[in-house]
Structure 1
Amino acid sequence: MLLGPLALSWPNLALLLGVFAFVGLAARQGVEGKAWWVLLFAALAARVGYAVEHLSSWPNAGTALLGVLDIRSGGWSWWVGFPAGAIAALFLLKQEATRLLVPGVASLAVALLPLGVQHGLTRPAPLSSKPAYETQMLQYLEAGQIRPGEVRFADLPKPMLINLWATWCPPCRAEMPLLVEYQRKGYPIVLLNVGENPGTIQNFLQQTGLSARVFLDSAGLQRAFQVSGLPTTLLIGSDGQVIARHLGPVNRGQLEQLLQQLK
């Protein structure tokens, strides 16, 4: 979803709306300060729950801890967060904890609204023919290569992940080592650079020490897939259609979840 120059994913929009609704209604009950502590405790528990749930995805405990602290990519286990928030409310407010019941239920209802809109907008429609971009040629660069090669989109292995990115995008740069790591492991990950020339891409790869195959969006896939913000990661099915999309940087757990759907 675009909010002026800001590209915001629907789950993150749902989270923000839920937070504002909860705090606003809690302020009417006269418990705004303690509501913020309840939110903080619930969010921290949800992040820790997510990290523990995907513990096998992280190479070590230190990386998992950093993943908990870095909330840019999202990833929450609310089945852990909501009970933790309720316990915090009981601890902070004791008998008056019921004053947060209405704000909690209302904020949950508000948060579900954008998720419902997302489901309606992103639900794939049945197609009677293959998409036009199936026949388009894509240019790609190997490590150290200046002159691009070419391949038809239809000839790429499917299902696959397509990550749309650019070197000027800080979140793209942050997630790139992880994506390159999994690409080099043999996973079908297409790193699709949007709007930059081969020299800029190779300079970035040399500066970061990354060795990867990078595709150029010579077929207009950003427009075809209706990608509004970077980075965006798409799960493409065997029919060339988008099965799932993730706006923003992916962490290791989220990438593992997407790759599981390729099987």
Structure 2
Amino acid sequence: MRVTPDALLLGPLALSWPNLALLLGVFTFIWLSARRGVEGKAWGVVLVAGLAARVGYALEHHAVWPSLGAALLGIVDIRTGGWHGWAGLLGGALAAWGLLGREAVRLVLPGVASLAVALLPLGLQHGLQRGLAGGQSELGDRVVFYLEPGQSRPSEARWGDLPRPMLVNFWATWCPPCRAEMPLLVEYQRKGYPIVLLNAGEDPGAIQAFLRQSGLEARVFLDGAGLQQAFQVSGLPTTLLIGPEGQVVARHLGPVNRAQLEALLQRLR
């Protein structure tokens, strides 16, 4: 077991702090509800609260979804995260009242305790990432290589010469979540956003084969300068928002959806 700024590492499993907070909160709520004899109803409350939080998130960011189908898919696909806390609390409260009536008061203590427990890993995440808020000026002279669309031989660049602020995405072709989010990242890169797709040390031929098979054209960087270790990346994909001075402004472990990407890019402006 190892603690990183983005996740709790359990062998090959990287459990992000938000996901750990969610799991601990649900476990605490169900366990305390079971001790009060309402475990079955508690599961119903959890499911309704989760659905309400996802729907609330999709509605909050409705303008970024290209279609209703994409918004519905965003609700179903929970891999990227994204929850509307107040919508979830309201949905859970209504579900508790509907299932238990006046007996819903028996879920108040489990609910408060689960929220308190969930805040613990989020607080730890804040402290760990705050310690990395300094600049990364020592990385400026490191050399990175990149491939333009259709290019077979990599070109060379200094890390410090890349435009900042920028969004850096660490990925690999063998990583299913990376493959899933790649079309979205390429779409925004081709729109002109400063998105650096930094492959985690794979052979250029494998990268180009993946892009051809996926029908994608993108500029891809190769991490031969130890940047994955320098930025303490604990799992793939990981997306970092790099500020004007080279400091890490925001970190996201796991695939990003359109709403999350838009939110990160807003901070570039």
TM-score exceeds 0.5: yes
Structure 1 unaligned residues grouped into runs of 5+:
none
Give the C-alpha shift of residue 130 in structure 1. Answer: 5.2
Determine whether 1:41 maps to 2:13: no
Q: Is the 8 A contact 2:133 2:249 kept in 1?
A: no
Give the C-alpha shift of residue 47 in structure 1. Answer: 0.3
* Partner of residue 252, structure 1: 258
Q: Is the 8 A contact 1:8 1:247 kept in 2?
A: no
2:153 to 135, 147, 166: 147
Q: Is the 8 A contact 2:132 2:248 kept in 1?
A: no
Give the C-alpha shift of residue 124 in structure 1. Answer: 4.3
Letter in 1 for 2:246: G
* Partner of residue 190, structure 1: 196
Rounded to whole Å, the distance in 2 between the matches of 1:52 and 1:35 is: 26
TM-score calculated relative to the size of structure 1 = 0.97
Determine whether 1:5 maps to 2:12: yes
Rounded to whole Å, the distance in 2 between the matches of 1:125 and 1:201 is: 30
* Partner of residue 268, structure 2: 262
Give the C-alpha shift of residue 83 in structure 1. Answer: 1.0
1:90 to 77, 91, 97: 97
* Partner of residue 141, structure 2: 135
TM-score calculated relative to the size of structure 2 = 0.95
Q: How does 1:99-110 map to 2 (within 5 A)?
A: 99-110=106-117
Change (3 A) 1:206 1:183: same
* Partner of residue 237, structure 2: 231
Residue deviations 1:151-170 (CA, integer Å, cap 9, x gap)? 11111111010000000000
Give the C-alpha shift of residue 125 in structure 1. Answer: 5.3
Say which SS state the counterpart of residue 162 (structure 1) adopts.
Answer: strand
Rounded to whole Å, the distance in 2 between the matches of 1:165 and 1:159 is: 19
Rounded to whole Å, the distance in 2 between the matches of 1:130 and 1:16 is: 33
Q: Is the 8 A contact 2:149 2:217 kept in 1?
A: yes
Give the C-alpha shift of residue 86 in structure 1. Answer: 0.4
Say which SS state the counterpart of residue 75 (structure 2) adopts.
Answer: helix
Residue deviations 1:210-257 (CA, integer Å, cap 9, x gap)? 000000001111000000100000000011111110000000000001
Q: Is the 8 A contact 2:186 2:216 kept in 1?
A: yes
Q: Is the 8 A contact 1:139 1:217 kept in 2?
A: yes
Q: How does 1:151-190 map to 2 (within 5 A)?
A: 151-190=157-196
Rounded to whole Å, the distance in 1 between the matches of 2:10 and 2:261 is: 26
Letter in 1 for 2:266: Q
1:29 to 32, 36, 50: 36
Determine whether 1:65 maps to 2:72: yes
* Partner of residue 22, structure 2: 15
Give the C-alpha shift of residue 131 in structure 1. Answer: 2.7
**Number of paired residues?**
262
Change (3 A) 1:155 1:97: same
2:121 to 114, 121, 128: 114
Structure 2 unaligned residues grouped into runs of 5+:
1-6
Say which SS state the counterpart of residue 135 (structure 1) adopts.
Answer: coil
Change (3 A) 1:130 1:223: closer
Letter in 2 for 1:179: L
Rounded to whole Å, the distance in 1 between the matches of 2:137 and 2:165 is: 15
Give the C-alpha shift of residue 209 in structure 1. Answer: 0.4
Say which SS state the counterpart of residue 244 (structure 1) adopts.
Answer: strand
* Partner of residue 225, structure 2: 219
Rounded to whole Å, the distance in 2 between the matches of 1:125 and 1:71 is: 28
Give the C-alpha shift of residue 126 in structure 1. Answer: 6.7
Rounded to whole Å, the distance in 2 between the matches of 1:63 and 1:246 is: 21
Say which SS state the counterpart of residue 78 (structure 2) adopts.
Answer: coil
Residue deviations 1:119-141 (CA, integer Å, cap 9, x gap)? 110004575x7532111111000
Letter in 2 for 1:236: I
